[in-house]
Amino acid sequence: MPSSGRHWAIRVLCLFCVVSDAVCVLNTGMLFPRESSSREVKDLSGLWVFRADKSPDRNQGFDEAWYKSRLEQTGPVIDMPVPASYNDITQDYTLRDFIGWVWYEREVVVPTRWIADEGTRVVLRVGSAHYYSVVWVNGVKVTEHEGGHLPFEAEIGSLIRKDPTMLCRITIAVNNTLTLQTLPPGTIQHMTDRTMYPDGFFVQNIYFDFFNYAGIHRPVLLYTTPKAYVDDITVVTDFSDNTGLVRYKVSVQGAAPATLKVTLVDKDGHCVVSSSEPSGVLKVVDVKLWWPYLMHDTPGYLYSMEVRHLITGTETVTYVYTLPVGIRRVNVTSTQFLINNKPFYFHGVNKHEDSDIRGKGLDWPLIVKDFNLLKWLGANSFRTSHYPYAEEILQMCDRHGIVVIDECPGVGIKDIRSFGNTSLAHHLDVMDELVRRDKNHPSVVMWSVANEPAAEMPPAENYFKTLIKYTKALDPTRPVTYITDSNYARDRGAPYVDVICVNSYFSWYHDPGHVEVIPIQLHTQFENWFGKYEKPIIQSEYGADVVSGLHSDPPMMFTEEYQKVVLQNYHDVFDQKRKQYVIGELIWNFADFMTAQGVTRVVGNKKGIFTRQRQPKAAAFILKERYWRLANETGRLPPWTNCNLSPLR
């Protein structure tokens, strides 16, 4: 784990060292591994060998150096799919709730040409593994990473070339233990009363309401580049009248000086503008802007930026990378959120990466199903509650015009010990990685640095002041928020955000069963927050649990009728306040999801408007009618749109 002062001086300096043209220099690039004529990708998804370290201290694997030989030689192993959470795959309840180190292994045949060509870099990339990971190749440690939701990688070409006849054996140890300095935080509690608990019994305490799924959640890839390659691209867009402005910066590693050709291509494959400089501004005449879904007849319009690295003095191309680019502008006033100078109202959902069996594992059928449901619902946005989602999901949002509030895993920061320098240094690391990965997605319009922190605690003010200032230095082009449910008068971080995002569950956690209080309390909530801070407000969570198929009239808690009447009471107030300063409403939640076992949860959180299997509850139809009505009020619905048939094109 990183020490409290590991990068502290660098962090502080970076707050005051934003380079020209609103582009902050990050440590290294993290471009999505797209295939091209100069880049090959080998997907290692499938069955891996797996073993959980169930020794009392969970350290047997390191003590016995399991990474030095094939994992099956160390003891019993089982099959484990990647990507997937390991928790729900087997019938072993101890594995479902396992805390500690688990070990994955895969032997890979590396193409001969990759090994033979000394000029080819071979990179191992893990899309995400929860929470702390250590990676070995052929018994040699190549990297480690803290954090469960963002990619990490290592160059391994020299290792696999030591003995070209060997299979490439990849070993990944993953530990899901959470501490007061991790994101999200947690604590380990050891039970020492032997009249109550067996020897060595401990539990992981968490401060968030979703299951602590663990494992390798996104694809593991091998990919290649030449020795001279594009390490990073940063794009910032704007427009003036009908001219688009694409400010870009390309970083090249392994070659100096770099000879580049940067070309912007439209959807029809026509060259729009080009440059031979590593940075500059591309001017696009008669620009086609990136618009959100239901705000324009061609939402999600993307250009392609082709970056070619040339041998100096020739036209010989040695490297090609293509980056999708959406040209748009985002602004915030005291009462509005503007996209391309037009008021944008968030009518959308909160989500989770969560589904049966696979847990948080990336699953394409589920992703496509969810996008079909979002568009059927008339939702134009969602928030990545409570952690960064897969890059593949954001790419879908770019293409379909779904607006995203991109949230880091800063959920459940409730203990005063989580506001120290060690925690803050790690939080800054996470924001570095998040911005580096997602900065070029036009669908991402705002960063969320935390969810429901204990912002009333005195240390929170300096913590969030530093965190928000640092995030704005990384990316001055997007507003920053965090999600609050604390008392407006005691919130120490709210003065520094650009948009107030408020979670509230009137008539559920407060005054349960009394829906008649919702209009009064919600009105008071909005007036208090806006009166104090004069910033636009998003109702970032609201809702009620419902067991699908449970009915009652008059409505009672946990029935479909009760969820409907809660939503309708909230919507009445939204309709009043959205004419003033409320700029969005995000239902909690899109679909039911798994949580830790407890007396307040019946096999998970049931606040979804869809079941965990993506079947609609009655509230889904209430929201569908409302969202399509909101979209129609803008007067900008595309002519092909039909609220009964909104295809995923």
Catalytic residues: 452
Burial profile 343-352: b = 16 or more Cβ within 10 angstroms, e = fewer: ebbbbbbbbb
Tell me the two tokens of residue 443: 């669908």
- Cα separation of 409 and 509, whole Å? 24
Residue 171 neighbours by CB distance under 10 Å: 27
Q: Residue 600 gets which letter from DSSP?
A: T
Beta bridge partners of 338: 331, 343
- Cα separation of 584 and 237, whole Å? 24
- Cα separation of 352 and 342, whole Å? 29
Angle in degrees, CA 210, 214, 218, rounded to 5: 105
Tell me the two tokens of residue 559: 């029935």
CA Rg, the chain, in Å? 25
- Cα separation of 572 and 639, whole Å? 29
Phi/psi of residue 94, each to 5°?
A: -70, -30
Beta bridge partners of 306: 263, 322
- Cα separation of 341 and 327, whole Å? 13
- Cα separation of 299 and 339, whole Å? 12
Task: With CA atoms as reference, report the closest residue to 174 among 145, 204, 139.
Answer: 145
- Cα separation of 96 and 434, whole Å? 29
Q: Before 198, cis peptide (omega within 30)?
A: no
Phi/psi of residue 236, each to 5°?
A: -125, 125
Q: Residue 510 gets which letter from DSSP?
A: B
CB 369 within 8 A of CB 338: no
3-state secondary structure at position 531: helix
Q: Is 334 exposed, middle or buried (0-12, 13-18, 19+ CB in 10 A)?
A: exposed
- Cα separation of 177 and 57, whole Å? 12
3-state secondary structure at position 604: coil
Task: With CA atoms as reference, report the closest residue to 560 among 621, 625, 489.
Answer: 621
